[in-house]
Amino acid sequence: MLYLIGLGLSYTSDITVRGLESIKKCSRVYLEHYTSILMAASLEELEEYYGKKVYLADREMVESGCEEILRDADKEDVAFLVVGDPFGATTHTDLVLRAKKQAIEVEVIHNASVMNAVGSCGLQLYNFGQTVSMVFFTDSWRPDSWYNKIWENRKIGLHTLVLLDIKVKEQSIENMARGRLIYEPPRYMSISQCCEQLLEIEELRGTKAYTPNTPAVAISRLGAPTQSFKSGTIEELSRSDCGEPLHSLVILGRQCHDLELEYLLEFAEDKLEFQKAVSQDQEYFKPEPWVPPIEEED
Amino acid sequence: MLYLIGLGLSYTSDITVRGLESIKKCSRVYLEHYTSILMAASLEELEEYYGKKVYLADREMVESGCEEILRDADKEDVAFLVVGDPFGATTHTDLVLRAKKQAIEVEVIHNASVMNAVGSCGLQLYNFGQTVSMVFFTDSWRPDSWYNKIWENRKIGLHTLVLLDIKVKEQSIENMARGRLIYEPPRYMSISQCCEQLLEIEELRGTKAYTPNTPAVAISRLGAPTQSFKSGTIEELSRSDCGEPLHSLVILGRQCHDLELEYLLEFAEDKLEFQKAVSQDQEYFKPEPWVPPIEEED
């Protein structure tokens, strides 16, 4: 059996009881280690908690065949641990399909991921549109396909969850060129950098998918003991220090009800200013008021 | 302290270790009992598992003041359990706001909910648009505000998660009129009924937000031991018996990649037919092909 087990967001004890019981049965345990990190626990703490050796699985191991992971999984129990949920931000459908082709049974044990826990900022999950990813811009690579997606969401009044880039086990171009397996320290995008990139592309395009005054919610260390939220305009958040990673951002859409706004105001530095920003922003992409059809006279 | 604890989707052991540890500390434990049900566990099993009495909290108790729940929560630990995640399909921001106003500390312990576990059908969560709710139609009440939302999602290529109505603790009109506190047996909408309602409204409007041939995924008992998926057209699923509740539905958008389709095909009765339906449906709302701008001659 191959168990795909979500670890939740932060604590070792965020694993479900069923997930933990399953790990105990496994002869090998892998931790997916390239799309996210568990914030309040180290690898050693996980190993102690599970009473098992935990092998780190990097992108290469998972995407190039998964042979090592699936080895003997038709006869033994193997666990593949994923921070958040196994089908959260990154799906592991490929691993499941490969397992099924080898007649290996698969059991998924779900957990919270940023995709649903983001609801704790107070905005209804119902009103989120498509999710976008923001990657680190480089001098020569400034991908902005997310821009149109935010625009599409906002045109129909929806919020956008922006997931921020993390780089683990990254090689410098020099080391890569020389074939040296030396890795750079991990990097996590901050909310301020994300907002700067948002503003840069908006300035470049000038089509007002959002503006510097568009309200947003900065989410820091979601699910961790030091979790915090900050409501502000994109411009305000671009100057804001939100502390340790991981960070995410929600760009508001028009559909923000009174109760949701009341909740967001708790996280605003200047409540009145934020409320004003929301009211103004709600005017964008507002549908035309309904006009009764002109009745034709007989 | 008020703990808001997600129970996950099905098993008693779907609770997180941290959630279970928190319940053990609580002097009172409430279970939100009007938006969802835990599929593989009864109230008695929960009580035995926690070693605590569990009080059912109906909509009235939660929405009309929450006094009972918050009583003494500034001095004692109280748990409010929610199937799925506390900020999943139904947010409990109101309860949190009331607690904060009474200077009661709140801790949220997240878990999987349908909003993220739906990813296990193989479709990327990134490409889901706004979520809609389908309620039971009655003779005089056939609300269809979800129609435009599905349309909006599909215009930009996104999938739509449709959450199906459940009715617990419902009074008949007669009993309500006579003030008799007699409740009807719980009712859970089936996928076939949902698809029938979808088809009825499409036929009425005729604006092709979707068609009878639009592909969808029927999700039955998500996260439960008997979980199952079925890929088919809306028309096909309207004639399909998906067994015991709970059911959900995903209506596909245009953005369906090869790997996702490969995964969905596993759940199709007639793989070729389903593949054809997807290809045809992807032609709807397809953006116009890009045409290079005509260069003006100097």
Residues sharing a CB contact under 8 Å with residue B67, sequence separation 6 or more, in sequence order: none
Per-residue pLDDT for B64 more than 80?
no
Are A92 and A12 a contacting pair, CB within 8 Å?
A: no
The pLDDT score that the predictor gives to residue A172 is 82
Using an 8 Å CB-CB cutoff, list chain B residues near A152: 156
Asked if residue B190 belongs to a known ligand binding site, the reply is no
Rounded to whole angstroms, the Cα distance separating A83 from A10 reads: 8
User: Which amino acid is located at A56 in the chain?
Assistant: L
Could A260 and B93 be called an inter-chain contact, meaning their C-beta atoms sit closer than 8 Å?
Answer: yes
- Nearest C-alpha in B relative to A49: B17
Structure-model confidence comparison of residues B63 and B240, the more confident one: B240
Per-residue pLDDT for B232 more than 70?
yes
Rounded to whole angstroms, the Cα distance separating B94 from B70 reads: 12
Least confident of A93-97, B34-38, B55-59, B116-120: B34-38
Task: Please state the rounded mean pLDDT for residues A142-166.
Answer: 96
At B207, the pLDDT band (50, 70, 90 cuts) reads very high
Structure tokens at B174: 């007669």
Q: What is the pLDDT of residues A205-222, one digit of tens each?
A: 999 999 999 999 999 999
Could A110 and B16 be called an inter-chain contact, meaning their C-beta atoms sit closer than 8 Å?
Answer: no
Is the ipTM above a cut-off of 0.90?
Answer: yes
- Report pTM: 0.93
The pLDDT score that the predictor gives to residue B89 is 66
The pLDDT score that the predictor gives to residue A37 is 75
Task: Please state the rounded mean pLDDT for residues B190-213.
Answer: 97
Task: Please state the rounded mean pLDDT for residues B30-51.
Answer: 86
Quick one: fold of B115-285? Answer: 3.30.950
The pLDDT score that the predictor gives to residue A60 is 79
Per-residue pLDDT for B296 more than 80?
no
- Single out the residue of A133, A157, A121 nearest to residue A232, CA to CA: A121
Rounded to whole angstroms, the Cα distance separating A89 from A288 reads: 35
The pLDDT score that the predictor gives to residue B224 is 93
Structure-model confidence comparison of residues B81 and A180, the more confident one: B81
Report the residue of A24, A91, A121, A147 to disrupt the B interface, i.e. the one with the largest count of B CBs within 10 Å: A91
The pLDDT score that the predictor gives to residue B59 is 79
Per-residue pLDDT for B287 more than 90?
no
What does the mean pLDDT of chain A come to? 92
Per-residue pLDDT for A24 more than 90?
yes
Report the residue of B116, B132, B133 to disrupt the A interface, i.e. the one with the largest count of A CBs within 10 Å: B116
The pLDDT score that the predictor gives to residue A168 is 80
- Nearest C-alpha in A relative to B109: A223
Could B16 and A111 be called an inter-chain contact, meaning their C-beta atoms sit closer than 8 Å?
Answer: yes
> Chains A and B: how many Cβ contacts under 8 Å?
156
Structure-model confidence comparison of residues A38 and B164, the more confident one: B164
Q: Which string of b and e fits B162-178 if b means at least 16 CB within 10 Å?
A: bbbebebeeeeeeeeee
The pLDDT score that the predictor gives to residue A183 is 83
Task: Please state the rounded mean pLDDT for residues B198-205.
Answer: 97
- Single out the residue of A218, A220, A250, A221 nearest to residue A237, CA to CA: A218
Task: Please state the rounded mean pLDDT for residues B59-76.
Answer: 86
Alpha helices in A16-118 (DSSP H): 17-25, 43-50, 59-63, 67-70, 93-101, 114-117
CA dist B190 to A16, A111, A186, B130, B237, Å? 29, 25, 47, 21, 10
Per-residue pLDDT for B298 more than 70?
no
Within this chain, domains A2-112 and A115-285 share the same CATH topology: no
Q: What percent of chain B has pLDDT above 90?
A: 75
At A89, the pLDDT band (50, 70, 90 cuts) reads low
Q: What is the pLDDT of residues B2-22, one digit of tens each?
A: 999 999 999 999 999 999 999
Q: What percent of chain A has pLDDT above 70?
A: 98
Residue ranges of the binding site of A:
9, 85, 88, 113-114, 164, 222, 247
Q: What is the DSSP string of B124-187?
A: -GGGB---EEEPPP-SS----HHHHHHHHHHHTT-BEEEEEPEE-SPPPHHHHHTT----PPPE
Using an 8 Å CB-CB cutoff, list chain B residues near A117: 85, 87, 110
Q: What is the pLDDT of residues B109-163, one digit of tens each?
A: 999 999 999 999 999 999 999 999 999 999 999 999 999 999 999 999 999 999 9
Least confident of A76-80, A205-209, B63-67, B255-259: B63-67
So where are chain A's domains?
2-112, 115-285
Could B16 and A14 be called an inter-chain contact, meaning their C-beta atoms sit closer than 8 Å?
Answer: yes
Per-residue pLDDT for A120 more than 90?
yes
- Single out the residue of B40, B50, B52, B44 nearest to residue B9, CA to CA: B40
Report the residue of B7, B14, B17, B22 to disrupt the A interface, i.e. the one with the largest count of A CBs within 10 Å: B17
Residues sharing a CB contact under 8 Å with residue A137, sequence separation 6 or more, in sequence order: A197, A200
CATH superfamily of A2-112: Tetrapyrrole methylase, N-terminal domain (3.40.1010.10)
The pLDDT score that the predictor gives to residue B16 is 98
User: Which amino acid is located at B162 in the chain?
Assistant: V
Q: What is the pLDDT of residues A244-255, one digit of tens each?
A: 999 999 999 998
At A61, the pLDDT band (50, 70, 90 cuts) reads confident
